[in-house]
Every structure is written in structure tokens, then in C-alpha cells.
Amino acid sequence: MSAVAREPIGALLWRLWRDPAAWITTSDIFVILIVLSLPWSTSLVAIFAVATLVTMVPFFDARAFLQSLRRPVCTVPIALVALAALGTLWSDAPWGARLYAVGPAAKLLMLPVLFYHFERSSRGLQVFAAFLVSCVLLMVMSWIVAFDPGLALRSHADYGVPVKNYIDQSQEFALCAVVLAYPVIALVRAGRMVPAVLLGAIALSFVVNMAFVIVSRTALVTMPVMLAVFTLLHLKWRTNLIVLGAAIVLAGLAFAASPKLQQKIASFQSQYQSYKDTNESTSIGQRLEFWEKSLRFFADAPIVGHGSGSTQGLFQQAAVDSKVLAGAPGIGNPHNQTLNVAIQWGLLGVVLLYAMWLVHLLLFRGDGLVAWIGLMVVVQNFFTSLFNSHIFDFNEGWIYVLGVGVAGGMISRAGPRQASSGLRNSARP
């Protein structure tokens, strides 16, 4: 019998209670639980996030943490949250709406915590692997629900969407598919064909699901941009031409074979035309109205905006004279992250928003799998935020916080040249 087995339970628990490594492991487990639950649940994410913070307390080095806050990757998101809190002071909205508007930005405060933690933890890749596993399970469930909608986990679910909504699902599937391109190319380069084929099949499965089950218009627009970034950074120009030709052929075949994809792409033109010709309240028409009105709101208070929580009241006033906006009662989201920030906190907020994207983008300018993951999270969030408020949305905002926070901590811990986990520079055939 080993010494551990002979140790009394009480003594073992006391030893683990006093062991910093045990607390780090516990925090890692809760972060893994966050990413496992993110595609499925909002309440579980909140519960596990609180548990993560609690388990960091016993051996939290306040001095080291405060020192880490001096870095722009930490100070800029904190400044954006602070501006959201200060914005409650000059807003005309009810206090409940003002305080509620701070909540979506508050998740950015987890970024410095994750940077700090994963500079000390070695389980960052397990976090990303857990997110991939959870998305694969969601994809399997998506196919099941497509054949039997009664198995969806919520009532009135969209076709092929077992939980949440098709925008969140498409965001997760697109990110996983593009991120997997890096290790697939690296493994092929290294001659490890079995894992390369396995990961390639998983990536292709995400794409097939989006083509034949359901996909958001945002994913259709932004996924080619993400693939273009990959080819420009990690493939030679001859390979780029081959990949471009293959992508065009595959896209054409998918379009010809998928009525769902044809319908989704055709909706761009049909909804825009209905909006222009008859002022019909279509999804695209509403977005155009949101953006036009948002620019006017911004022009009325360009420096510090109308204050936190002011968006919904402004749109309600504008809806009185707009047939299109009248079809979207209670709207408080202009479906553009820049405009969402500009309305509430003016040019000052926009500068902080773009500064955050920039400093996080520069954090992942090195080589390696970890840098690639962080880069794609930032790139996806930036481009999808042209059509949605994806920093403030729950699912997409947490993807950004977790992806940037975990990858950023790993980069800082290992150094930008050592964060490749054995795949650095191997993805350039």
C-alpha cells in the first residue's frame, strides 16, 4: 500500500488545501468546465466563472497581479469597463437600464485574471481541446435535431439548433473549422497523416454542417476572411493559388448541392430589395435602419456619447417615425459593436474599443498554434462585430475573453517563440 493510500483523508485534504499547485489545478478544472458549458448553457458559464475566481483567492499574489495590470493588454479592457461604469453618470436612461448596460462589458474584467492565471498554468491547451470537444458534441446534436426537431433542448428551436441560436452555433463552428487548419497543415508537413486526417475530417464536418443544416449570414461573410488570413500567413503563394482554386470549386459544389445555403445567400438580395422597394421590415432592412439612426445618435453626442443604457430609449423614439424600426420593438442593440459603443460613450469609447482589438491582435503576432488560436479569436470577433455587438453578446463575448485570456497567458508564460507546442513554423509547406 502506498504512502498516499495510508494517509488519513483529513491529513490529505489539509495538505492539498495548503498546496498552491492543487488550487491552480482546481482553477484550471473550472475554466475547462466554462468552455465545455459555453456552447450549451449561459447559467453554467456564470457559475463556473465565479467558482474559478473563488479558487484563485487562497494563493493569489496581489502584488504580481497588480504589476501585470500595467500591460496594455490588461489596462485597455479595464479602461473600457470603467468608461461604461462612468457612463451611467450622464445617461438619461432609468438607473436600472444604466446598470444593466454595464454588465455586458464587465466580462472583460476576466481578461487580466486569465492572463495572470495562464502565465502560471500549463493546461491552456486542455482548455482549447475541451472547447473543441464540446463543439463536436454540439455538431452531432445538431445533425440529430435536424432529423428529429423534437429532440431539441429548447422549445421553438431553429432547424438544426439544439440549444441557444444559429448565430452562436455558426460562430463556434466557424472558429473551430478555421483554427483546425493550422494543426492539419503542420501535421501533414511533419508526416503525421493519421492525426492530420482526423482533425481535417472534424474541420470538414463543421463546414458541412453549416452548408447543409444552418449557418448565419455573418459566418458566411467572415469565414472567408479568416481563411484568407490563414493562407496569407501560413502558406506560400503557389499553395495559395491551389487553395484558392480548390476553395472556389468546393464552394460552388456546396452551393449547388445545398438548398439551405442557396436560400441563405439569396436572402441577402431579396431582403435588401424588399426593404428598398416597399420599406418592409426585413432583417437586413432593420440593420440598415439601425446603422443610419446610430450615426445620427453619435453625431448628437460625439465625444462621450449619450451614456450607458441610453441606446434602447433612443431607438424607441426613432421607431415612432419608422415603419422598419417599428417592427423591432424594444431594440437596444444596433447590431454593430462600434456603433453600440459610439452611441453610449462616443469617440472616447470607440478609441478604447479599437485599442483593445489592436493590442490583443499584436499580442498574437508570433508563430505557433497558441498564437494562431488567439489571432483567429480576435480576427473573428472584429469582423463579426461589423454585423453584431459581439463583445457585448454573451456567447461571442465569452469566446473572446476565454480565447484571448488563455492564449495570451500562455504566450506571456512561454514567450512568443516557444508557444507553438511543437507546431511552430511547420505549417508552411
At residue 82, the pLDDT reads 96
Average pLDDT, the chain: 82
pLDDT at residue number 260: 59
Residue 329 scores a pLDDT above 80: no
Residue 93: left (phi > 0), alpha (psi -120 to 50), or beta?
A: beta
How buried is residue 65: exposed, middle or buried, by Cβ count under 10 Å (0-12/13-18/19+)?
middle
Tell the residue number behind the cell numbers 484571448, with chain if given.
404
Q: Is the pLDDT of residue 428 over 50?
A: no
- Element (DSSP H or E) covering residue 153: none
CA pair distance 412, 409, nearest whole angstrom: 5
Residue 427 has pLDDT above 50, yes or no: no
343-356 pLDDT, tens digit per residue, is 999 999 999 999 99
Residues 6+ apart with CB under 8 A from 260: 211, 212, 213, 214, 215
pLDDT at 72: 93
Q: Of 309, 415, 315, 419, which Cα lies nearest the Cα of 369?
A: 419
pLDDT tens for residues 220-257? 778 888 877 877 776 665 655 555 565 565 556 555 55
Average pLDDT of span 195-209: 91
Question: How much is the pLDDT for 421?
Answer: 44
What's the pTM value of the predicted model, to 2 decimals? 0.85
Cα–Cα distance for residue pair 368/375, rounded to 1 Å: 11
| pLDDT tens track for 125-173 | 999 999 999 999 999 999 998 888 877 777 777 788 888 888 899 899 9
Q: How many CA atoms lie within 13 A of 18 on its CB side?
A: 5
List CB contacts of 19: < 8 A, sequence separation 6 or more. Answer: none
Please give the share of the chain, as a percent, with pLDDT higher than 70. Answer: 76
Give the tens place of pLDDT for each residue, 57-89. 887 788 888 888 989 999 999 999 999 999 999
Would you say 384 and 374 are in contact if contact means Cβ atoms under 8 Å apart? no
Write the single-letter amino acid at 266: A
CA atoms of 295 and 312, how far apart (whole Å): 15
Cell 453610449, located at residue: 344
**Distance of alpha carbon 383 from the chain centroid:** 11
Give yes or no for a contact between 216 and 170, defined as CB atoms under 8 angstroms apart: yes
Amino acid, single-letter form, for residue 16: L
